[in-house]
Amino acid sequence: MTISCQKKIVKSVGNAANNIEFANGLEIYNYEGFTVMKITKPWPDAAKTYTYVCGKNTHKIPDSLQQHPFIKVPVENLVATSTTHVSSLIALNEAEKLIGFPNLDYVSSEKVRQMISEGKIMELSDKESLNFEKTIDLEPQIIIGLSMDSETSKFNQFEKAGIPVVYNADWVETSPLGKAEWIKFFGVLLDQQQNANSYFKTIVTEYEQAKLLVKQKTQKPTVLSGAIFQDVWYVPQGDSWMAQFINDAGGNYLWSNSKGTGSLSLSFETVFEKAMNADVWIGPGEFYTFEQMIAANKHYGNFKSFKNKKIYSYSIKKGPTGGLIFYEDASNRPDLVLKDLISIFHPEVLPDYQPAFIEVLK
């Protein structure tokens, strides 16, 4: 009787370089025969890192990594939980891998809407989360998860049932290029790393070139963002995603000195005193007409940007079923968001440009 055994090649995980440049919550290490992907910030203030080992097979995975979930790539099918995931799948030409999604109406992309009408993608919504029974019945290979905080019980139940959950935290990133770099996350799962890398490289080049167009501008329009909820006004903080875009596009965001990546809650008086004469207003919350704004709160009418009709929203462009295009595609295409803003702040720099996401209020 002969006993055969396979010799495993053990490699230290410290040897490979992290393939990630801008994103703070994602790390990708490529080894021979497998890739280690770490989600270091699955939600804000996370104390936990999720490590996934991805490969075509388990032959070359060392013992030290056996404790982590193994994902066989390329993934055959998946359930996603955010429209940003859908956008990444489209960018890598892998939309057919999507077999289930909660709240299908939020999805706007033409290709996926076509798949939905053909019955290829199942509606999995159960109000705030995935319907357990329907998702299990679908038998996806993986679920791309999204959690606001460490309360992940609704995803843990799928893991107990044998479906791995891979947490995507693109929404936690605060820098424009950091968010877009999460295309590489899908590159790993779909065995399309090369495509994902070159896609991202193009985005970076476009973004940096656009930024250069306005770098020397000394005349910057003053910019307000946010809207009032009863007596509380939420404005993005200085290090937030939107604030960075505004500054990179040559705008003078009035709260760019504030620290933090979330929003400030301010009183109406404070915002009014500082921003009454702001030249431009970007992102006034849910509104898409001037009439709606004045009906909600008459104080809006006294802002200079309201009187001059220079209020721009990214909530106007919607897909055929009411999904917001901005929420779906903007995190993958920061170059377009930047150019949209440049065309508003310094129109002479991009004279024939048609905005991809932003529109002036009706």
Which parts of this chain interact with other proteins (CB under 8 A)?
Answer: 127, 228-232, 264-270, 272-273, 276, 286, 292, 295-299, 302
Nearer to other proteins, 96 or 269 (CB): 269
- E strand or H helix that includes residue 265: strand 263-267
Give min distance, CB of 299 to other proteins, in A. Answer: 7
CB of residue 253 to other proteins, shortest distance in Å: 18
Cβ proximity to other proteins: between 194 and 257 the closer is 257
Find the Cα–Cα–Cα–Cα dihedral 194, 195, 201, 203, rounded to 10°: -160
- Shorter beta-carbon distance to other proteins: residue 70 or 234: 234
Q: Which residues contact residue 47 at a Cβ distance below 8 angstroms, ignoring those fewer than 6 apart? A: 150
The answer to whether 238 and 260 have CB atoms below 8 angstroms apart is: yes
**Which CB atom, from 160 or from 298, has the smaller least distance to other proteins?**
298
Distance CA 122, CA 316 (A): 27
Residue 115 CB, nearest approach to other proteins (Å) = 25
Helix ranges, 216-316 (H): 241-248, 268-275, 290-296, 304-307
Looking at the Cβ atoms of 233 and 345, the one nearer to other proteins is 233
User: CB 355 → other proteins: shortest distance, Å?
Assistant: 25
Q: In what order do the strands lie in the sheet containing 311-313? A: 252-253, 222-225, 280-282, 311-313, 359-360
Residue 198 or 265 having the CB closest to other proteins? 265
Amino acid at 34: F
Contact 222, 243 (CB under 8 A): no
How far apart (Å, rounded) are the C-alpha atoms in residues 167 and 144?
Answer: 6
To other proteins, the closest distance from the beta carbon of 302 in angstroms equals 6
Produce one character per residue of 253-267: b if its CB has 16 or more CB atoms within 10 Å, e if not.
Answer: bbbbebeebebbebe
CB of 228 to other proteins, least distance (A): 8
